[in-house]
Chains A and B, each alone.
Chain A
């Protein structure tokens, strides 16, 4: 396994060689750069406090994210940017990695169980991940207060979607559309709670794919995962069964957020002291969440997520607009 990983890393580095050679950062010039030292404001909190708190908070987020059918990033970004001392740039970069790693932790199990459909995810991911790159570039170009305000509006919009959107366990799809038929997006799964074997197909595929343009841009711009939007589109619009939608959405984040995460990573929006505790916490939480998914009753979790997001969305608006709600 380690040999495979080493060869993978070596291959990736070889492919990126051109980019590396073009980067002028390799020319060390200490005499010019060191001329004007920049002195930041002093933080008196012990250096290990925030990483430890992050580890605990993200572990809980990992569990809630899987059970609530949302990406870890959608919880991480508003909560951490609202209540922790980190700048939004680093929160978004870390948020994407958090959403990505929550999906990486859950993805293999969901694929093996045939709950996540690779066949459904591949065309959707192609559109969403491309647009997430565009979103990331837009988000990093906009002023922080505008991004924070838009984030608040988006989070409150997510609350409305979660509050009002119905979910259909097994939507009634009379006939698959031409595109999904051509791509053979269909499958069979056994519903664990009833033991019933369900033969599923989807419809309205072109419209669904078009909506993933918007979802991808927003995921990249705000560093959010996009489970909040993936699930309604896959389930209510395209007609995939709820469990297939939730699982495919979770897996989908591993692709969508990868593309945007690289933009943030390359831009320097990653601080290991923030990222490592957050990733370990969310991945461990996701492992626990996947194991609870088959037996959990998600109603309470859903209401809790709505409440948390409402509070965090108002906090983001407050910070973005520079006003006080509470």
Chain B
């Protein structure tokens, strides 16, 4: 069993976690700026024209998805879940890549510290980290659906 961290310095796993979080955050932020510039300056043309988007963001999400699908996307179903991956050649949907990185980096952080915790024989925290990673992955999967209104 590991001994408590009785040191003013952060523990090894905390530093590892922080470094991965920092890299993911900077990568996501940098890509966010790049993809948004590509979008707003029409370097990569969007699926939904920029001047039109303001007409849609007042709608409830269900109506919004149906409207953009009917008017622009023409998919069998409105684009929910990971549908955006198949539309990343369009400037607006390209922006979902950094959003996914920023939303997903925490899963990576939890998995990366597991070996350190295992080495310290910190079983309770290993279990909690793996459980957290599983829950976040389930949330990210799109398998959990909510009712519309």
Contact = CB atoms under 8 A, between A and B. Distances in A.
A87 B64 contact: yes
9 contacts: A8-B104, A12-B137, A25-B76, A27-B76, A111-B15, A117-B14, A188-B7, A267-B146, A272-B99
B92 A273 contact: yes
Contact of A90 (B11, B29, B57, B106): B57
Contacts of A12: 100, 104, 107, 137, 140
Contact of A283 (B29, B77, B96): B29
A28 B75 contact: yes
Interface string B131-149: 1100111111111111111
Interface stretch (A61-69, A100-108, A301-309): A100-108
Interface residues of B, number: 99
Closest 6 CB pairs of A and B: A272-B95, A30-B74, A141-B147, A108-B22, A111-B18, A140-B146
Given A5-B23, A125-B132, A33 B103 contact: no
Interface string A236-271: 000000000000000000110011111101111111
B17 A38 contact: no
Nearest to B127: A126
Nearest to A43: B54
Mostly helix, strand, loop or mixed at chain A's interface? helix
B139 A34 contact: no
Interface in A121-158: 122-123, 125-126, 129-130, 133, 136-144
Interface residues of A, number: 109
A22 B82 CA distance: 11
Interface in B53-110: 53-61, 63-67, 69-71, 73-83, 85-86, 92-93, 95-97, 99-108
B121 interface: no
Contact of A273 (B53, B86, B142, B149): B53
Contacts of A30: 74
Given A50-B54, A262-B140, A272-B39, A28 B103 contact: no
A97 B71 contact: no
